[in-house]
Each structure stands twice: as C-alpha cells, then as structure tokens.
Amino acid sequence: MNSSNTRNRYPTVDIDDYIGQHHGSHFLYTYRNVKKFYYRLDAVHLDIEFLKICRAKDIIPSFLWFKTANNDLSSSPVYKACQLKLLNVEIDAKRKKLNELKIMYESSLNHLRELSSADFFEHLFEIIISECSYLIDEKRRTLNKKLLSLCPVNNSTHYYNAKVVTNLSSRVLSNEELICLANGLDYSLPPKSINSMNVASNVETFFHRITDVYQHHKKFMNEQKENEAFVESDVRVLNTKELTLASDLSSLTKSFLQRGNRCQIQKHKFDFEQQNYRKLIQKLKQDTSIIITRP
C-alpha cells in the first residue's frame, strides 16, 4: 500500500490510545515491547561501537578508572593491563546483551506482525523508527562528546598531506579547512538523501546491459530507417527469463528504497569528526571563489 494512503488511513499521533481502543491491551503491550527492544538494540549497538573505538585508539573510558592505594600505580603497565582486560570483558558482556535483545526484538516483532494487517504493521514500524530516532541520535551525540573528551586534543588532526590542496583563490584557508579538504579528496561523505530517479535509472541501465533489449531495439530502428518508416515507440515482448529478471529487479529496487528511506529517518550515523567535516565543507561551498579539484 502507498505510504501516503496508509498515513491517511491510520493516525500518526496518539497511536497508543488508538491501539488500546481498537486492538486491545495485548496488542498495545506487544507494540510497546517492539518499540522498547528496537531502541535498546540500537543503544547497545552504539555502546559496543563506542567501546571498540576506545580500544582501537588505546583510550580507557572513565567508568574503568579506579583508585589505588599508591597513586603511582595508576601509571604502571599493570594498571593499564587491568583496565584493558575489564574493557574486553565489558565488550563481551555488551555483545551477549545484544544477542539477547535481538532474540526478544525479533520475537516481539513477529508477534506484532501476526496481530496486525500488513499495511498497519508497516505504519506502526515507521512510527517506531521515527519516535526512536531522536533518542538514538541523542545517545549517539552523548557518546561522541564522551569520546571527544577522552581523546587528546590533536588526536584527529594528524596524518594528512596539505600539498594535495592548492589554493588559487584570495581566501586564506584555516588549518581545519585544509585538513578537511585534504581528507575530503581521499573519501566522500555519504549523501544526505536518496535520489529515487537515479536508482531507477541505474537499474534500468543494468537491465539493458545484461539483456538484449537495447540491441534488439537498435536493430529494429535500423530496419525502420532502411525502410524509411519511423515509429515513435517500439513495443517489445519480453521472454520468460527477462520478465522474471524484470520482476526481481523491481522487487529489489523497491526493497532497497524502503530500507534507504528508513535509514534516512534514522538520520546519519556520522561520527563527530565526519560531522565537523560536513559543516566545514558546507561553509566552503558558500564561497563561490573556491574551486575544489583533484591535483
């Protein structure tokens, strides 16, 4: 069902009251469980990412700092080794919790799917994603701030080659802008939105390349030109394999766009450094005197 029709059919606010009145307390309990486990699953996943980044960057989170009788022991290798062991134990515990939450979430989600119609289930799932996205983003920002406070001041500003940036404008670039541009020439940030027309165009091009549709059409048009007969369009009857392929591609494209849109609802899972890069690039974009190109 079209999402706009679904929104018109079912309410988007006070959904709990609507469920309680029309579907009963058991349905409402299941819906709240799905929403609860959905958020907890993403929250624990963010915790694991945070802990793994700390381990990779040789950073110990503050909850693993503990006092010793001798203050000099806090700088000893044994103290650091104990912290690292505790960090690994915490990561393993979080992974175990994540697996438990996955089971509870999938069980609740399947039960909700059984209790509701397909269009109402899709509507409820979109509401769950929308309501939880704010809380998840808040937690992500909190963890990014914690990570930034634990990192050395210049931890994110080393290993870049400023020579790849040639400034031919009259504007004087700051050190942060140079770092951003130097890194930006090596990789690009994910786009902020999904262009449905580009996706459809790419799928159509893929279909043309792996079938003989284009060659058939080209041969047909050449024959028409030779006979001095022109037609505005050509109707091609696809064989069984091509019809099956077209159906599969259509289904995959719709599934991709649905998942992409859901990810857009959750906004962008950029880390703190990437968010700063995007802000700097947006400011530089406003200056029309700057032309950015590869050397």
pTM of the full predicted structure? 0.49
Position 157 scores a pLDDT of: 41
Question: Looking at beta carbons, which pairs linking 33-38 to residues 24 or more positions away fall under 8 Å?
Answer: 33/104, 33/108, 34/105, 34/108, 34/109, 34/112, 34/124, 34/128, 35/128, 35/131, 35/132, 37/101, 37/104, 37/105, 37/108, 38/105, 38/128, 38/129, 38/132
In this predicted structure, what is the pLDDT of residue 101?
94
Look-up: residue for tokens 């670039």? 173
Query: What pLDDT score was predicted for residue 48?
Result: 93
On whether the CB atoms of residues 35 and 132 are closer than 8 A, the answer is yes
Give the other-Cβ count within 10 Å of 222's Cβ.
10
Q: Where are the extended beta strands (E) located within the chain?
A: none
pLDDT at residue 94, rounded to an integer: 94
Q: What is the pLDDT of residue 1?
A: 45
* Residue 203 in tokens: 């799928």
214/236 Cα distance (integer angstroms): 10
Over its length of 295 residues, how does the chain's per-residue pLDDT go in tens digits?
Answer: 445 455 557 777 788 888 888 888 999 999 999 999 999 999 999 999 999 988 888 888 888 888 777 777 777 788 888 889 999 999 999 999 999 999 999 999 999 999 988 888 888 998 998 889 889 989 988 888 888 877 754 444 445 666 667 777 777 777 777 777 776 644 455 555 666 666 666 766 766 666 665 555 555 556 555 555 555 555 566 677 777 777 777 777 777 776 666 665 555 555 556 667 777 777 777 777 776 665 5
* pLDDT value of residue 194: 66
φ, ψ of residue 234 to 5 degrees: the values are -115, 130
Dist. CA 79–CA 102, nearest whole Å: 35
Which tokens is 37 given?
């486990």
Confidence at residue 254, expressed as pLDDT on a 0 to 100 scale? 74
Q: What is the pLDDT of residue 110?
A: 93
Instruction: Please report where in the chains the tokens 């599934």 appear, as a residue.
Output: 255
